[in-house]
Amino acid sequence: MMTDVGRIGTAALGEGGPEVGVQGLGCMGMSFAYGPTDADASRATLERALELGVTLYDTADAYGAGDNERFLAPFFKAHRDEVVIATKFALSIPPEDPTRRIIRNDAPYIREAVEASLKRLDVDVIDLYYMHRRDVNVPIEETVGVMAELVREGKVKQLGLSEVTADELRAAHGVHPIAAVQSEWSLFSRDIEARVVPAARELGVTLVPYSPLGRGFLTGSFVDADQDLTADDFRRRQPRFTGDNAAANAALLEPVRSVAEAHGVTPGQIALAWVHQRSEVHDLPVVPIPGTRKPTRVEENTAATHITLTDEELALLDPIAAKVAGTRYADMTFTSAGRE
Ligand SMILES: NC(=O)c1ccc[n+]([C@@H]2O[C@H](COP(=O)([O-])OP(=O)(O)OC[C@H]3O[C@@H](n4cnc5c(N)ncnc54)[C@H](OP(=O)(O)O)[C@@H]3O)[C@@H](O)[C@H]2O)c1
C-alpha cells in the first residue's frame, strides 16, 4: 500500500493569494460530529500533517460550540508562521439540541463571532474567514461588506464562502475578492460542478472540497451509520448513510475498489485522487480538506496527491455520483444545491 511518499505539492489560495499545501486538513472530527475522539492522537495527526506539507487547517466556531477552535489553539501557536488558519461564522448548533441549525449573516452577529473566534484561537488575525452558511434574509453584499471591513481592520486576511450558489459567489466577489469556496465535492457529491465550479474558475477562486471521502463512507470504514457508528454520530442523520440507501450506496464502491487494486492503494486514496484531479479537469486550484484524527491516515491521504487516474479509470468513477441514493443532508435548503 502506498502510504508516505514525502511532502505534498502546493496550490494558490485565491488569485494572488498565498501558496498552501495542495491538501488541507479537516479538523472538525477532532471535537465534534464523528463519535469518540482521542486528543493525543489528534495532536499527533496535526504535527504529522505539517511535516508532510499540509498547511491549511480547517475549523469553525460551530464545531463543538467553540471546542474545536480551542483545541487547535496550542498547535497554531506553536506553528503560527507555518499554518494557514481557516475558520467560519454563521452557524450555531445548540449543544442541547444538535439537530437544530441557527444561521445568521448580519453585521452584529459577524462582529461578535470574529472576536470570539480570535479569542478562542488565541491569534491576532484569522488567515481565511468563511461564511459557513447563507442566511437568505441578509443580502450577501451586506454580509461580505462586513467581512471586507474585517480585512481592512486587520482581523482577517482572506475571505471565503461555504455552500453558496454561483450567483451568490458572483455578487459577493463584486464586493470583495473571495479567495475560496468550500463546498462538498467527492465521488458521491458533484452538484457544484454545474454552476459553482465554472463561476469559481472564472473569478479566480480556489475550490476547497469538504467531505472528499464522503464522510468516510468512500473508504469502506462504515456501511450503515445506524449500525456501525455511535448514537451521537452526525452521519446517522444523513439520508445516504442509513438503511436501504446505505446498502445501495455501498454497492457503488465496486469500481473504486477495482481501481484501487490496480494502483496497489486503498479505495480512500482513489476517492481523494479523484478530487485532486478535479483541478486538472476543471482548470482551477483545488485544495481538498479530508478530515482525520489518525497520523497514519494523514500519511495515507496525503500520499493520494501523487496518484494520477487514467481517462479509462475516470470513466469508471465519474458515473457513480449520479447513482447515489439519498441526499447529502436531510434538509437541503441549507446547501447551494437547495437554492440553485
Ligand atoms: N463547510 C461545511 O459545511 C463543512 C461540512 C462538513 C465538513 N467540513 C470540513 O471538511 C472537513 C472534512 O470533511 P469530513 O470530515 O466531513 O469528511 P471526510 O473528510 O470525507 O471524511 C472524514 C471521515 O473519514 C475518516 N477517514 C479519514 N481518512 C481515512 C482513511 N485514510 N481511511 C479510513 N477512514 C478515513 C475519518 O475518520 P478518522 O477521523 O477517525 O480518521 C472521518 O470519519 C471537516 O473536518 C471540516 O473541517 C465543512
Q: How many CB atoms lie within 10 A of CB 154?
A: 9
* Ligand 1 atom nearest residue 58's Cα: 47
pLDDT of residue 100: 84
Q: What is the DSSP letter of 194?
A: T
Give the tens place of pLDDT for each residue, 126-163.
999 999 999 999 999 999 999 999 999 999 999 999 99
Question: Does residue 90 carry a pLDDT above 80?
Answer: yes
pLDDT of residue 2: 44
190-196 long-range contacts, CB within 8 A, separation 24+: 190/321, 190/322, 191/336, 191/337, 191/340, 192/336, 192/337, 193/282, 194/340, 195/165, 195/166, 195/340, 196/164, 196/165, 196/166, 196/169, 196/336
Element at 101 (helix H, strand E): none
Percentage of the residues of the chain whose pLDDT score is greater than 70: 99
| Predicted structure pTM score | 0.97
Specify whether 130 is catalytic: no
Distance CA 240, CA 188 (A): 10
Element housing 211 (H / E): none
Contact 292, 57 (CB under 8 A): no
* pLDDT score of 50: 98
What's the mean pLDDT in 98-110? 92
How confident is the model over 231-240, as pLDDT tens digits?
A: 888 899 899 9
Which residue out of 93, 164, 213 has the highest number of ligand 1 atoms within 8 Å of its CB and is therefore the one to mutate? 213
Q: Read off the amino acid at residue 156.
A: V
Ligand 1 interacting residues, C-beta cut-off 6 A: 26-29, 34, 58, 132, 162-163, 182, 210-216, 219, 221, 268, 289-294, 297, 300-301
214 Cα: distance to centroid of ligand 1 (angstroms)? 8
Kind and range of the H or E run holding 105: none
Q: Which of 297, 300, 328 to mutate to test the pocket of ligand 1 (most atoms within 8 A of CB)?
A: 297
